[in-house]
Amino acid sequence: MKVAIYIAMSANGQISNSRGVPDWLSPEYSSGFFEICQNTKAVIMGRKTYSILAPDYLPLKEEGTTVVLTTNTKAKPANRTVVFTDEGAKEIIAMLEQKGHTEAVIVGGAYAMTKFIEANLVTEIILVVEPALFGKGLPMFNDIEFTRNLALIGVTPLNSNTVRLHYGVRYE
Ligand SMILES: NC(=O)c1ccc[n+]([C@@H]2O[C@H](COP(=O)([O-])OP(=O)(O)OC[C@H]3O[C@@H](n4cnc5c(N)ncnc54)[C@H](OP(=O)(O)O)[C@@H]3O)[C@@H](O)[C@H]2O)c1
């Protein structure tokens, strides 16, 4: 199963600033977000990210699967694509495969991305690097020990300030 991470970050690698306001994100990040989610049709996110997006900005509304990691699995989903789960990363991928998905995209936040990179299940990473530096912020991954080697697939300028870095994760 192809599993990508799609995430925006500051030039110093933070995915959120301490204000928690996403006013540093470019329109190109947002259009890329909706495009990759709609093309992939299986989207994985943590509940905090879901709470920012739901209900109006959830990328899948009618078809596909939106997996939300939460301990509150009895919550009411914002639409029919949403599945709340407290399962592990491997079980989530197995569930998506059972539903017929062959690819998925993880759109944040740090908790959700950490669960899947830790389990060696991420095959690609797309970083949208925005022109900002945050002294205080949220790193891409939670504070656990690991190293992953990457292979650069492509570098695409998205506007005069923002660049998209596309990596494959190397497991050999
Ligand atoms: N730059 C970007 O592109 C981007 C994209 C997305 C998000 N973000 C930022 O990332 C931040 C959110 O990231 P985050 O790491 O704090 O949160 P997150 O990954 O979005 O969600 C974390 C949630 O996961 C659930 N969880 C924790 N342990 C669990 C377990 N054992 N089993 C099942 N679910 C569990 C909890 O939900 P419950 O509390 O419901 O149990 C927890 O609140 C925000 O600041 C947001 O702005 C940035």
Domain boundaries, the chain: 2-170
Distance 69 CA to ligand 1 centre (A): 8
**Is any atom of ligand 1 closer than 6 Å to the C-beta of 7?**
yes
pLDDT tops 90 at residue 172: no
Query: Is the pTM of the predicted complex or chain greater than 0.85?
Result: yes
Sign of torsion, CA 11 13 15 19?
negative
Distance 164 CA to ligand 1 centre (A): 23
Mean pLDDT across 66-83: 96
Query: For the domain 2-170, what is the CATH code?
Result: 3.40.430.10
Of 7, 37, 47, 143, which is best to mutate to test ligand 1, by the most ligand atoms within 8 angstroms of its C-beta? 47
Average pLDDT, the chain: 97
Distance 160 CA to ligand 1 centre (A): 30
pLDDT tops 90 at residue 134: yes
- Parallel, antiparallel, or unpaired: how do β-strands 124-130 and 103-106 relate? unpaired
pLDDT tops 90 at residue 116: yes
